[in-house]
Structure 1
């Protein structure tokens, strides 16, 4: 018998489409183009399928956004039940900061979803639990989370808006502003801009930790402030020793 000719090369089997793959592809798009770049058509193209096939696994774009937000929350470390509330809040905020730097589009979406997923609910419950078991009332715990998250989201937004592009320094517009600013008229502003220029390209994580320390040092479980304050308005037992303060981030 003669040898049979080799048949056509088999195409590699494509991984089956599912909700997880759709959400992952959408997050990749958002990381590159922002959340506005996430459309049903663009997500399908990323996966190499037709847009209509996505509807077998998601109800639409909003459903995908819900999944993206839940995936970001899943990346954030949950507060350790063994840690005290301040250590737990610091670790959680730092982990959230790192996640938002990876996915800056998520800042405006994290608290906007009407159908939170399981990772989102688990995260919020653990954060509130760390504060409640640390002595915070329900009201104070929710206020503390709001305060920390307002700082966290605001810092990421501001960081993304700074006119520094890399270690080489300012971009063109910022360089012009620095060069044209009359130091004799705006001495403190010129000084501040020059200092920021020196820090261009440096990791702003140190600045984030500095501000976070100030916030956490200002929070106390309900009743602690009153019990630690004498009639003169000073902490009870205070003998003039300075309160530990956050150390400003070193400049590079």
Structure 2
């Protein structure tokens, strides 16, 4: 059986490809390909890249040389995603709330480093070794609460959902700013000013206009992720203390 025979379907998960990738060479290895792809995605506002550009960056003439190590582009995305899951962490032995707080904070830090990961989190199943270890650690810290398995998983997914959603918003904003060429809030404000003036003149949205004209409207700044995370944990604590089961 050749390496091509072992290659998973284009939409398959790299974790289903049991045979190990070819032996690393001076130029190529699975680890080097993943690291180069992550660096390329980090540098692009949209997080997008092509296998052809990646191959050129690694000094090989054809993307086919990369497929021998990662199976397909989907396989490479699985590997990249799992590398980011490895940057999440869970506090151990301090109780469920510090555990989930650490999960949220480390996840947000990781997503800010790699905004493209948020898109993958919604499109690629978390079945890699780092993702599985992360879930296992988080679920273990919830085990003493005596919750059923489904409720424990929903508690974990509530926090991760906030991380992924915030990361996706960050990615879309980065992509928009790069597309329209307005990189700062000041530039965005100047571009929107004529439109906001027309809204105010029309008089149909007085409360919105009052907010726009309030010089303190952004104080104390955008709602920090940590504050939203604490609100989520407060909600979960209420559910846990009542012994409720969150709705499916």
**TM score, norm. by length of structure 2:** 0.71
Cα distance change, pair 158–113 in 1 and its aligned pair in 2 (3 A): closer
C-alpha offsets along residues 168-223 of structure 1, whole Å, 9 cap, x if unaligned?
352554333333321753232234445699649x985x521121111100113876
What's 1:8 paired with? none
1:212 aligned to 2:229?
yes
What's 1:3 paired with? none
Larger radius of gyration: 1
Cα distance change, pair 193–148 in 1 and its aligned pair in 2 (3 A): farther
Q: Mind listing any 5+ residue stretches in structure 1 that lack a counterpart?
A: 1-13, 228-252
Structure 1 position 145, deviation (Å): 2.1
1:131 aligned to 2:142?
yes
C-alpha offsets along residues 105-141 of structure 1, whole Å, 9 cap, x if unaligned?
1112125335722111111111222222344331211
Spell out the pairing of 1:45-56 with structure 2 (5 A cutoff). Answer: 45-51=56-62, 52-56=64-68
What's 1:100 paired with? 111
Structure 1 position 79, deviation (Å): 0.9
Cα distance change, pair 98–191 in 1 and its aligned pair in 2 (3 A): farther
Spell out the pairing of 1:211-250 with structure 2 (5 A cutoff). Answer: 211-220=228-237, 224-225=241-242
1:155 aligned to 2:166?
yes
2: CA distance, partners of 1:196 / 1:130: 45
Structure 1 position 60, deviation (Å): 1.9
What's 2:205 paired with? 186
Contact 1:135 1:222 (8 Å CA) reproduced: no
2: CA distance, partners of 1:73 / 1:203: 29
The 3-state SS of whatever aligns with 2:68 is: coil
RMSD: 3.2
**TM score, norm. by length of structure 1:** 0.70
Spell out the pairing of 1:21-40 with structure 2 (5 A cutoff). Answer: 21-33=32-44, 34-37=46-49, 39-40=50-51
2: CA distance, partners of 1:191 / 1:73: 43
The number of residue pairs the alignment matches comes to 210
Contact 2:81 2:117 (8 Å CA) reproduced: yes
Q: Mind listing any 5+ residue stretches in structure 2 that lack a counterpart?
A: 1-24
What's 2:85 paired with? 73
